[in-house]
Amino acid sequence: VCRFLLLRSAASLTTRSLCTGGLPKDGRAPDMVDGNLVCFSVRNRLREIVGASTNWSDHKQAMAERVSLSSMLAKSQQELPVKTMKDSYLEVHLPLGSEPQLREKYLTFHNTVRFGRILEDLDSLAVLISYSHTYNPELKRSPLSIVTALVDKIDMRQHNIYPNCDIKFTGHVTWVGKTSIEAKMHMSQFQNGAYSSVLDATFVMVARDPENKRAAFVNPLKPDGPEEEKIFQEGEANKSRRVELSTASLLKVAPTNEEREIVHSLFLNTLDPKTVSFRSRVLPPNSEWMEDAKMKGLEICHPQERNIFNRIFGGFLMRKAYELGWANACSFGGRRPNLVAVDDILFQRPVDIGSLLLLSSQVCYTEGNYIQVRVHSEVFNPLTRQHNTTNVFHFTFSSDHEVPNIVPQTYGESMLYLDGKRHFNQTVQQ
């Protein structure tokens, strides 16, 4: 269902037209009428930018028409005009307080806001921010296919999101590479006469050609002033951190000496003192085997959940993964958990319409009242019987009481435990 959001430029920044993407001559955004905001659909705006059809029956023709836009791609980044952070700044209003019909789509059974829906909105907004950065007023449609590559981090500033209070999203591009874009977003909610911070999110987007087959160049970014220079340098540091974490992945290199000690200690704690055998294992007090802390789901990927490029919408994948992870944490802890952070969601490959999407949630690390959950997403081809990983999601939850210790039995589970510990430590340190 297409949810209407309200968009405007912040008064402190250069007013920019969201209808055309360019600067109006009179300095006034045409979507502002007598100071009142006009309903504006983010996803419909994205369809206009790309030239995608709203009807599934027309999608093949629409995509075929985009092939001709390849000639408009820049052959080098130097050909593209330099942009500033102000060029991509957007402010989006989600009127939950004043739109009861809209509110229904965000409500949980417990009369709270469905965070999975917020993930969908963040994903759409990150794409629109990226298109705002790459906007060319001379082109009717953008030749770029901008897709989500990674959700670097989402930090929760407060646990409660109220269903009857308006929400405001703000965001802009903070760093660019040759073909990649980092977009930071902030979400706040209006309560007691003022907006209070809810979360901060960092997404990494990549630009590709009109057919979404190869990388494409994006406009360079020039910081304006010391504050923006600091933000840009933080983006550089984020890139270096991601490279470092990828290099040190447990799928590539062995655990550190300290991590080996942790695994061995876990093993020793599960030995049966009566037999002292490698084959005999017992569960320590207040613990659960990792094998027993799983939850799985299946989604048939229908056209309704497609993005503007006729693949499954990344926000939909995040929503489904989050809801499964939340349910697993709730079942494991015995109470409704609160989300603390989302990090390192890697989009490894797109999900096609008609795919069978398998989701597997695993509690992989616990500490005190914290629960670290990993959700693995893969597509299954029933004809070839092949499984291909599409996404890996990492969620940190907290409970209002101490939770059982999670205990691995196999070497593979021990690696999941260490990977979960790494993600948890990274969340706590930040």
Whether 411 is covered by a domain: the verdict is yes
* 318 or 344, which is more confident: 318
Query: Which residues, 6+ apart, have CB-to-CB distance to 231 below 8 Å?
Result: 85, 174, 175, 184, 223
Q: Report how far apart the first and last C-alpha atoms of the chain are (Å, whole number).
A: 35
Predicted pLDDT of residue 429: 67
Residues 241, 260, single domain; the answer is no
| pLDDT for the residue 100 | 85
Residue 132, domain member (yes or no): yes
Whether residues 219 and 270 share a domain: the answer is no
Residues 264 and 236 in one domain: no
Q: For residue 23, is it within any domain?
A: yes
In a domain, 232, yes or no: yes
Assign 3-class secondary structure to the chain.
CCCCEEEECCCCCCCCCCCCCCCCCCCCCCCEECCEECEECHHHHHHHHHCCCCCHHHHHHHHHHHHHHHHHCCCCHHHCCCECHHHHCEEEEECCCCCHHHHHCCECCCCCECHHHHHHHHHHHHHHHHHHHCCCCCCCCCCCEEEEEEEEEEEECCCCCCCCCCEEEEEEEEEECCCEEEEEEEEEEEECCEEEEEEEEEEEEEEECCCCCCECCCCCECCCCHHHHHHHHHHHHHHHHHHHHHHCCCCCCCCCHHHHHHHHHHHHCCECCCCCCCCCECCCCCEEEHHHCEEEEEEECCHHHECCCCEECHHHHHHHHHHHHHHHHHHHHCCCCEEEEEEEEEECCCCECCCEEEEEEEEEEEECCEEEEEEEEEEEECCCCEEEEEEEEEEEEECCCCCCEEECCCHHHHHHHHHHHHHHHHHHHC
Contact present, 271 and 280 (Cβ < 8 Å)? yes
Q: Is residue 251 part of a domain?
A: no
In a domain, 267, yes or no: yes
Q: Which pLDDT belongs to residue 53? A: 67
Count the residues in the chain.
Answer: 430
Pairing of strands 32-33, 36-37: antiparallel
Total domains in the fold of the chain: 2
Q: Is residue 26 part of a domain?
A: yes
Q: Which two tokens stand for residue 364?
A: 């992989």
95 and 213 together in one domain = yes
Q: For 182-210, what is each residue's pLDDT tens digit?
A: 999 999 999 888 999 999 999 999 999 98
Asked which of 223, 246, 269 is the last residue of a domain, the reply is: 246
The pLDDT confidence band at residue 408, using thresholds 50, 70 and 90, is very high
Together in a domain, 228 and 82 = yes
**Which of 37-46, 234-243, 254-263 ranks highest by mean pLDDT?**
254-263
Listed residues 188, 223, 246: the one ending a domain: 246
In angstroms, what CA-CA distances link 280 with 291, 292, 409, 411? 16, 18, 11, 16
Of 246, 271, 302, which residue sits at a domain end?
246
CATH, residue 65: 3.10.129.10
What average pLDDT does the chain have?
Answer: 85
Structural domain boundaries enclosing 411: 256-429
- Render pLDDT for 19-68 as a digit per residue (tens, 0 to 9): 333 323 333 233 322 222 323 467 778 878 887 766 767 777 777 778 88
Residue 158 domain-assigned (yes or no): yes
Same-domain status, 203 and 339: no
Q: Same domain, yes or no, for 242 and 325?
A: no
The whole-number average pLDDT for the span 323-343 is 95
237 and 375 inside one domain:
no
Q: Are residues 195 and 49 in the same domain?
A: yes
- pLDDT over 50 at 227, yes or no: yes
On whether both 198 and 263 belong to a single domain, the answer is: no
Looking at the fold, whether 275 and 398 belong to one and the same domain comes out as yes
Note whether 134 and 185 are same-domain residues.
Answer: yes
Q: pTM of the full predicted structure? A: 0.84
